[in-house]
Amino acid sequence: MRFRQSFVWLLLILAIGAFVHLDLGHYLGFEQLKASQAGFVQLHAQQPFTVAASYVVLYVLATALSIPGAVIITLAGGAVFGLWQGLLLVSFASTIGATLAFLVSRFVLREWVEARFGQRLADINAGVNKEGAFYLFSLRLIPVVPFFLINLLMGLTRMKTWTFFWVSQLGMLAGTAVYVNAGTQLAQLESVQGILSPALLGSFVLLGIFPLIARRIVAAVQKRKVYARWASVRPKTFDRNLIVIGGGAAGLVSAYIAAAVKAKVTLIEAHKMGGDCLNYGCVPSKALIKSAKIAHQMRHGAKYGLSDTTPLFSFKAVMQRVHDVIRAIEPHDSVARYNGLGVEVLQGFGKLVNPWTVEVTLNDGQVQRLTARSIVIAAGARPMVPSLPGLDDVGYVTSDTLWDEFAKLDDIPKRIVVLGGGPIGCELSQSFVRLGAQVTQVEMGERIMVREDEEVSALVRDALQADGVQVLTGHKALRCERRGEDKILVVSRQGEGQGQEVDIVFDALVCAVGRVARLQGYGLEDMGVPTHRTVDTNEYLQTLYPNIYAAGDVAGPYQLTHVAAHQAWYAAVNALFGDFKSFKVDYRVIPWTTFVDPEVARVGLNEQEAQAQGIAYEVTKYGIDNLDRAIADSEAHGFVKVLTVPGKDRILGVTIVGSHASDLLAEYVLAMKHGLGLNKILGTIHTYPTMAEANKYAAGEWKRAHAPQKLLAWVKKFHDWRRG
């Protein structure tokens, strides 16, 4: 720490120490103010300039040092100087003091905070640069956070000092006026009965309702600014209460909720109802995984006391089963069902024309325009296709297209390359190798399943390799080539041996390197709605325009069907009832599973996330290899790993690796959602023999590690004494 910073720290400590030692806080109490009021008023009448200047200096120092008592000093301003002079003095003194506190915080703390929390502060600074003035103005108008904390925290950002000063001056003016006015009424009190005077009661009512009024003012100002360019085209009446663009999980749930509360709602879907999950993701992949697992179990029948058998099957029949499963579930998401629920379903492409109007190009070529008070964008995501030279020449499939393309084949492609080491790539690699293909999985990073802890990544890699997948981590795809009849992917080794090129011959190439939100073609860019990989939304899922919401993959931050449905509730309810009550979307307890074998299921933090965020944690681990049911099922591998607050049973996160991990996780999701700790899980009866007992035994491991050893030592002595 530099000498000047140390010197400022010393001055601050001395000033605060003097304040405490001299008991100056005694003079900042309500009773003391009343006792001194008459004397201050008389002194002000005799020496108005001296008293005013002294008051300003005192106020500036108190605010700059973040000393408690600003409310009393403000009331004193009204009591001594009256409304208008008091407002003038307090307004400028409070802003000058706040700016000094802002500068002190910046000078003393910012370098240290930036060094320790650089990335997080960089994200905050990006927001401050974009909307910092308006955000500060909102905080000043709505004093949920104490003003002294705002001064100190803003000093840690890159906000300009002049911006902080003038925004604070304007933002605090209304609140200052209310407090100073209350001070003028307090000055008129002559007895306890005077407290019931209408003027004073009015001041206290203003103090109580001011945050609500201020919030309305902020919202109105922001709306006026956002909608200014569209004021001339705003409809006087609306065709619908809600229009939903996209018929995937988020869109279906949004429309369902609107219909359930008797709103008039239109759902627009250009392609297949059910979206990615039903047609390309969750449903077909799980159907494929099941068939592949049965084939795997047949090959390893000896594991169950049976004979190993080579499964005889038609790959076309396997893919036909996948489509049969899709068709069996389709009625749940069909046009007919949603029409029956009261939702108008239009088969076509919807595009925003203005904040209230959607132009629908129907699949039969007709075009119509609909208006609605609110709109939900639930356009979903599409597979990301890497820009590899020669990729189009050799041909490829994605997690969307492979279901139709592979269904045309009589036999599974002999040699398959899967690009990507995330959940989709791992699930497909394992399934295809179990169905008889030679599979090479290519991942540029150091390991697959990079969002999971290293031991989880290693376990999944071992499982894939045991099934026959050639896992190439640390290999970057460079280009695709045709050499005669062969299709070749050229990759480059990273790390040790960097630059060495490797040729991989394949018959089919599957791109599974992630999914990107569908942002183009919906009118977002024409309307200036900000997007950064996903649509920018606030905590209520509102976009730039408060009546336009986004939910599901297009909104992020999770690309999970159940999260899309979760967001849809907030989007629909806020869209329909937000004028009365809005709800912030809750991401505190989000579970997910990768359906490889063994499954990987997680909720909350894992170790690498806790370490990255600097969160203290304690690990409890139970090996499923000791679980009776797992042994009986020949599935005795994997573990339950629970992160808890050190010394407490409060759950921070859980990772489960093993058979039925996705089902076992539900108990922890419930516990975390409702604040139940490991002691509650331990005290819950679990059926024997089941895989779910793993959760109870994990809780038991935690309990044993926290057994009161000193107390148990005394208990042992007690039992020894009882035996005589």
Q: What is the pLDDT of residues 212-253, one digit of tens each?
A: 566 677 677 777 888 889 989 999 999 999 999 999 999 999
Q: What does each C-alpha distance from 151 to 182, 520, 636 come to in angstroms?
A: 24, 41, 57
Residue 265 pLDDT greater than 70, yes or no: yes
Rounded Cα gap, residues 684 and 678, in angstroms:
10
Q: Which residues contact 50 (CB under 8 A, 6 or more apart)?
A: none
Residue 4 pLDDT greater than 60, yes or no: no
- Residue 86 contacts residue 80 (beta carbons within 8 Å): yes
Q: What is the mean pLDDT of residues 141-161?
A: 71
Burial, 703: exposed, middle or buried (Cβ in 10 Å; 0-12, 13-18, 19+)?
A: middle
Among 122-136, 264-278, 304-318, 597-611, the range scoring the smallest mean pLDDT is 122-136
User: Which of the pair, 304 or 189, is modelled with greater confidence?
Assistant: 304
Q: Which residues contact 110 (CB under 8 A, 6 or more apart)?
A: 155, 156
Residue 123 pLDDT greater than 60, yes or no: no
Rounded Cα gap, residues 691 and 378, in angstroms:
37
- Residue 42: what pLDDT? 61
Q: What is the mean pLDDT of residues 50-63?
A: 76
User: Which of the pair, 32 or 348, is modelled with greater confidence?
Assistant: 348
Rounded Cα gap, residues 511 and 418, in angstroms:
6
User: Which of the pair, 396 or 76, is modelled with greater confidence?
Assistant: 396
Q: For helices 561-577 and 249-260, what crossing angle results, to 10°?
A: 40
Q: What is the pLDDT of residues 530-541, one digit of tens each?
A: 998 999 999 999
Domains assigned to the chain = 3-223 (no CATH), 240-382+517-577 (3.50.50.60), 391-515 (3.50.50.60), 598-709 (3.30.390.30)
- Residue 421 contacts residue 473 (beta carbons within 8 Å): yes
Residues of the chain with pLDDT > 70, as a percent, come to 81
SS (H, E, C) 225-241: HHHHHHHHHCCCCCCEE
For residue 598, whether the previous peptide bond is cis, meaning omega lies within 30 degrees of 0, is yes
- Residue 615 contacts residue 669 (beta carbons within 8 Å): no
Q: What is the CA radius of gyration of the chain?
A: 33
User: Which of the pair, 113 or 308, is modelled with greater confidence?
Assistant: 308
Residues of the chain with pLDDT > 90, as a percent, come to 64
Q: Which two tokens stand for residue 600?
A: 């990987």
Q: pLDDT band at residue 427, thresholds of 50, 70 and 90?
A: very high
- Residue 40: what pLDDT? 59
Q: What does each C-alpha distance from 266 to 59, 276, 318, 575 come to in angstroms?
A: 58, 20, 37, 14
Residue 660 pLDDT greater than 80, yes or no: yes
Q: Which two tokens stand for residue 94?
A: 């409070």
Q: What is the pLDDT of residues 580-622, one digit of tens each?
A: 899 999 998 999 999 999 999 999 999 999 999 889 999 999 9
Q: pLDDT band at residue 16, thresholds of 50, 70 and 90?
A: low
